[in-house]
């Protein structure tokens, strides 16, 4: 901006000024060249500019300055006094393409598949042009970024951690100091799947074993406080586990180190604590009077938490529960210098900077070496201990912690005999109470257009029939609890309300405790929402809480709505789905869930004086799973498939 020199450098519309520009350079013959320009008159304080002439030479330093002129006086030049001279170099040539090299990822013509997921590679980008100051690069699926050169013309090297196997390509553009871009350079390579663990103890040895066989690595001798042949987490690939009694005799060790903790490594295991009120170690590796790393459970001011400690860093997260399975994975990434902790396949806490020292002592399962000897013995179960000499990437961590859902029951409600509607796999049937019946599509041939006196009945919800409930006494029930509410579960159902605007709340699903319901799914007509309702505790008259809800109703002659409840014990979250969709209002965190002991109910829920909230409508396709179904599988519930979504 230029200001009237007579106005103390303050803008004033009554003081128009023009700008006097000068630019100069020395040409190839050593002769100074100068160009001048005077702008049009504009109000003081206006922006003024000069488009430089087209005879400006390339790759030559051009200097310029400007001053203001109001027709009576001129200001000092902009580089006089405290000012500074401005200069630029005009670049009319784009840089040459970058070359790309990599020691870990050679040309596919030389080595087609390279190792691999979770193993860092490095790419060096260089351009023959000496004025390149940065490189813009991108890999299929990311990352996409720009990296600066240490000085113009210098090469740069970037690390790359492949997160998945398969063909990959890196594209690079060299950028010079004027911002001009080179053409695209491309580098193709192929990444193998992540390599197997370097040490693994499945801990599925026979019950009378005295040592744990190693799938890879060295067998681990067991102390006398170790019991083989214990239970395993349902839905996991682990067959059996070992129980450690928490004493000084409860440990396993190969009596040798398994990893150089100064390099990248990951260690993981399935665990189930028998107590949570003291520090306990799952795995560690000996150093001088201290563990080189320690993965386990730690007591904190806020309560128990899972923990991974290494090299002065500690990452904590999750909430251990007595008798509950969890999958733990501790990771040290030497490339970034950070420690990470995964609990049940999800990163817990915040990555911390670590500087591990050498720990060449023995690897330990169930204890950690301290100054006074081995301490923090594990009390509980441990299964499938693995050690990797690479980064275990997030998708792999989730897979290691995966628990495959198991179909507990699928009632298609197509028919009933003697008041019993069968389960599709010959499991326990649902028992129909008074006011409940099975409607078959062939039961009525009523066509109101032909017979005005007949009463129209909507078609079956799914398949050839469905359950009809009268809203007064109608229900169906299992013989006992179908899902364990203290562990992950999924329930799905298709429902159609008989009335567009019911007069009171109506329950479609519930499972009882001793005095109240562990949960119930109901329709609340006042808010037009499906609600998941849970009591604060299993006591008569205990306050109820709507933990999640989602808007939607389908009364009368619609095709029904597909509802699902998914509880994930790994994250202590419960979600309510409507037609395969959920949202923030339909998701809740739970910390005080309890095991229900009562039977699964269809069409009613507990009330102060017995049973109530009877459903007036149709119900179909009741499905129950142990384990939390994925979103993609939840969307497939209620369509009449006979195939298990496991």
Q: 448-472 pLDDT, tens per residue?
A: 666 666 666 778 889 889 999 999 9
Q: Any idea what the Cα angle at residue 341 is, between residues 337 and 343, rounded to 5°?
A: 165
User: Looking at residue 44, what is its pLDDT?
Assistant: 86
DSSP reduced 3-state for 158: strand
**Measured distance CA(67)–CA(371) in Å, rounded:** 76
| Residue 377 φ then ψ, to 5° | -65, 140
User: What mean pLDDT do residues 365-385 have?
Assistant: 96
Q: Are 486 and 567 in contact (CB under 8 A)?
A: no
Per-residue pLDDT, averaged over 115-121, amounts to 93
What is the radius of gyration, based on Cα positions, of the chain? 36
Q: Output the average pLDDT for the chain.
A: 90
Query: Is the per-residue pLDDT at 442 higher than 70?
Result: no
pLDDT of residue 1: 81
Between these two residues, 534 and 213, which has the higher pLDDT value? 213
Q: What is the pLDDT of residue 554?
A: 62
- DSSP tag of 551: E
How many whole angstroms separate alpha carbon 98 and alpha carbon 397? Answer: 36
Q: Evaluate if residue 417 carries a pLDDT over 60.
A: yes
Inter-residue contact 341 to 326 (CB < 8 Å): no
Average pLDDT over residues 228-249: 95
**pLDDT > 70? residue 230:** yes
Binned at pLDDT 50, 70 and 90, residue 600 comes out as very high
* β-pair type (61-69, 86-89): antiparallel
Nearest Cα to Cα of residue 152 among 126, 171, 173: 126
| Cα–Cα distance for residue pair 523/406, rounded to 1 Å | 28
Which percentage of the chain shows pLDDT scores above 90?
67
Burial category of 385 from C-beta neighbours within 10 Å (exposed 0-12, middle 13-18, buried 19 and up) = buried
Tell me how long the chain is: 646
Which pLDDT band, with edges at 50, 70 and 90, does 238 fall under? very high
More confident residue, 539 or 624: 624
Instruction: Report the predicted TM-score, pTM, of the whole model to 2 decimal places.
Output: 0.79
Strand, coil or helix: what is 441? Answer: helix
Q: What is the percentage of the chain residues whose pLDDT exceeds 70?
A: 93
Q: How far is CA 485 from CA 338, 566, 628, in A?
A: 37, 10, 12
Residue 5 pLDDT greater than 90, yes or no? no
pLDDT for position 9: 47
* Residue partners of 435: CB distance under 8 A and separation at least 6: 469, 470, 471, 472, 473, 474, 475, 614
- pLDDT band with cut points at 50, 70 and 90 for residue 605: very high
The dihedral built from the CA positions of residue 443, 449, 455 and 461, taken in this order, carries a sign that is: positive
Distances (CA, A) of 308 to 30, 323, 325, 350, 398: 68, 21, 17, 11, 17
Report the range of poorest mean pLDDT among 357-366, 444-453, 521-530, 590-599: 444-453
Q: Phi and psi at residue 395, in whole multiples of 5°? A: -65, -35
| Spatial separation of the C-alpha atoms in residues 129 and 125, rounded to whole Å | 12
- Residue 88's closest CA among 20, 153, 182, 25? 25
């Amino acid at each position: 901006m230029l200001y009237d020199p007579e106005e103390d450098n303050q803008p004033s519309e009554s003081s128009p000024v023009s700008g006097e520009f000068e630019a100069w350079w020395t040409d190839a013959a050593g002769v100074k060249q100068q160009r001048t320009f005077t702008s049009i008159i504009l109000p003081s304080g206006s922006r003024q500019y000069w488009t430089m002439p087209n005879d400006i030479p390339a790759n030559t330093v051009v200097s310029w300055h400007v001053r203001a002129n109001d027709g009576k006086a001129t200001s000092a030049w902009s580089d006089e006094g405290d000012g500074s001279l401005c200069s630029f170099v005009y670049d009319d040539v784009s840089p040459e393409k970058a070359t790309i090299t990599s020691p870990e990822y050679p040309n596919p013509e030389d080595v087609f598949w390279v190792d691999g997921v979770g193993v860092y590679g490095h790419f060096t980008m260089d351009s023959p042009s000496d004025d390149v100051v940065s490189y813009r690069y991108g890999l299929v699926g990311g990352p996409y970024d720009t990296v600066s050169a240490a000085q113009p013309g210098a090469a740069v090297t970037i690390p790359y951690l492949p997160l998945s196997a398969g063909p990959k390509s890196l594209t690079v553009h060299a950028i010079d100091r004027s911002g001009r871009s080179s053409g695209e350079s491309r580098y193709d390579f192929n990444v193998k799947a992540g390599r197997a663990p370097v040490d693994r103890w499945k801990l599925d040895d026979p019950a009378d074993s005295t040592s744990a066989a190693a799938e890879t690595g060295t067998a681990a001798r067991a102390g006398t406080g170790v019991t083989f042949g214990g239970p395993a987490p349902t839905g996991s690939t682990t067959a059996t586990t070992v129980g450690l009694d928490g004493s000084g005799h409860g440990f396993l060790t190969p009596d040798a180190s398994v990893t150089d903790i100064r390099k990248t490594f990951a260690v993981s295991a399935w665990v189930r604590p028998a107590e949570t009120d003291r520090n306990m170690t799952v795995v560690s590796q000996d150093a001088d009077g201290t563990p080189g790393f320690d993965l386990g459970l730690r007591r904190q001011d806020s309560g128990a938490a899972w923990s991974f400690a290494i090299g002065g860093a500690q990452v904590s997260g999750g909430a251990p529960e007595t008798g509950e399975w969890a999958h733990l994975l501790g990771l040290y990434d030497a490339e970034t210098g950070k420690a990470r902790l995964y609990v049940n396949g999800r990163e817990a806490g915040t990555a911390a900077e670590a500087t591990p020292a050498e720990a060449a002592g023995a690897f330990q399962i169930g204890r950690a070496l301290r100054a006074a000897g081995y301490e923090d013995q594990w009390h509980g179960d441990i299964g499938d201990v693995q050690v990797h000499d690479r980064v275990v990437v997030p998708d792999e961590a989730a897979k290691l912690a995966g628990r495959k859902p198991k179909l507990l029951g699928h009632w298609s409600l197509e028919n009933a005999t003697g008041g019993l509607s069968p389960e599709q796999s010959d499991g326990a049937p649902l028992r129909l109470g008074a006011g409940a019946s099975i409607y078959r599509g062939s039961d009525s041939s009523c066509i109101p257009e032909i017979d005005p006196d007949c009463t129209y009945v909507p078609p079956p919800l799914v398949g050839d029939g469905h359950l009809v409930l009268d809203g007064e006494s109608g229900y169906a029930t299992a013989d006992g609890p179908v899902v364990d509410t203290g562990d992950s579960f999924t329930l799905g159902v298709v429902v159609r309300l008989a009335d567009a605007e019911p007069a009171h709340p109506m329950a479609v699903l519930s499972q009882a405790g001793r005095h109240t319901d562990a949960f119930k799914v109901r329709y609340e007509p006042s808010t037009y929402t499906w609600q998941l309702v849970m009591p604060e505790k299993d006591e008569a008259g205990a306050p109820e809480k709507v933990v999640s809800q989602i808007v939607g109703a389908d009364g009368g002659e619609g095709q029904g709505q597909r509802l699902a409840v998914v509880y994930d014990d790994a994250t202590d979250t419960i979600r309510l789905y409507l037609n395969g969709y959920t949202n923030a209002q339909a998701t809740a965190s739970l910390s005080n869930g309890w095991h229900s002991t009562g039977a699964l109910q269809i069409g009613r829920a507990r009330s102060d004086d017995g049973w109530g909230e009877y459903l007036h409508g149709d119900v179909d396709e009741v499905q129950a799973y142990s384990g939390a179904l994925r979103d993609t599988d939840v969307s497939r519930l209620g369509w009449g498939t006979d195939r298990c979504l496991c």
